[in-house]
Amino acid sequence: MPELPEVEVTRRGIEPYVRGRRVLRVDVRSGALRWPVPPELDQTLARREIVEVGRRGKYLLFEVDEGWFIVHLGMTGTLRVLPLASLPAAAKHDHIDWIFDEFVLRYRDPRRFGAVLWHPRGAGPVSMHPLLAGLGAEPFAPEFSGELIYRRTRARSISIKQALLAGDIVVGVGNIYASESLFRAGVRPTTAAGRLSAARCARLADAVRATLSDAIARGGSTLRDFVGSNGESGYFQLDCFVYDRAGSPCRVCGTVVRHLVQGQRSTYYCPRCQR
């Protein structure tokens, strides 16, 4: 499943192509995604210029003068830029093409858990869209800080790992990134969220940013997967400290990495580095 780093790398990969360019038309071959694709999408977007490609959580936000079309990649979605001159015929799961003058932005999604939606400017800022309004802080925004983690966890008895995964404090920390961030912060994943000190919350916020930054940087070298190829993209090959390394020595101290299950998700940690 594409996580925040993959979505951010997709954004960076396609924005230079589409920003400042006009959509000529939109081909919706199949609008049956997680929610129906708006039937008027072609009419709404025809001749509109893409002003900017933003991101909120795992949602890509394509801004035009009249509003935003929002793309979520779901479990298996990809967006690729393909040259019009040598455009491959649409395959079975290539549901939508945005056709520009020299290239096509193509959305493929075999499992159809993704979404393409429209948010008109008249409905207010895109951040008010019902799917976006309740999201936690962006990990790279100033509002995400140790202070925020501290404040938002005081009354919570759940573990800090589950608090991170919940997505209402900070977005983008999926299962792999939660284990890795907690390792970098030296925090045991089972620690009750409400008992984490302010200083440790600050270390954790830094660790979340560092972990996601590393993943995005690593993804930069796979940009070709998003532009002009038919490659399927999965998780970036993170050089994990603990994730999926149960029984192997900790890369920092050599202690055997342990595995446990929290909320039906696998957690990995070093019992010596994380207390």
Pairing of strands 78-83, 25-28: unpaired
> Active-site residue among 48, 58, 184, 200?
58
The partner residues of 55 in beta bridges, in order of sequence, read 60
Least spacing, CB of residue 259 vs Zn ion, in Å: 14
Residue with Cβ nearer Zn ion (97 or 180): 180
Task: Give the sign of the dihedral formed by CA 173, CA 175, CA 180, CA 186.
Answer: positive
Least spacing, CB of residue 270 vs Zn ion, in Å: 3
Given 3-state DSSP classes, what are the helix, strand and coil percentages for the chain, each rounded to the nearest 5? 30, 25, 45
Tell me, yes or no, if 3 is annotated catalytic: yes
State the residues that interact with Zn ion by CB under 5 A.
250, 252-253, 255, 270, 272-273
The rounded distance, in Å, linking the Cα atoms of 185 and 61 is 31
Query: Residue with the closest Cβ to Zn ion?
Result: 250
DSSP state of 174: -
Tell me, yes or no, if 218 is annotated catalytic: no
Tell me, yes or no, if 108 is annotated catalytic: no
Least spacing, CB of residue 95 vs Zn ion, in Å: 45
Residue with Cβ nearer Zn ion (163 or 273): 273
Q: What burial letters (b/e) apply to 104-118, b meaning 16+ CB within 10 Å? A: bbbbbbbebebbbbb
Tell me, yes or no, if 22 is annotated catalytic: no
Q: Is 68 exposed, middle or buried (0-12, 13-18, 19+ CB in 10 A)?
A: buried
Residue with Cβ nearer Zn ion (22 or 259): 259
Residue with Cβ nearer Zn ion (156 or 258): 258
> Active-site residue among 19, 112, 209, 265?
265
Least spacing, CB of residue 94 vs Zn ion, in Å: 45
> Active-site residue among 2, 5, 139, 189?
2
List residues with catalytic annotation.
2-3, 58, 265
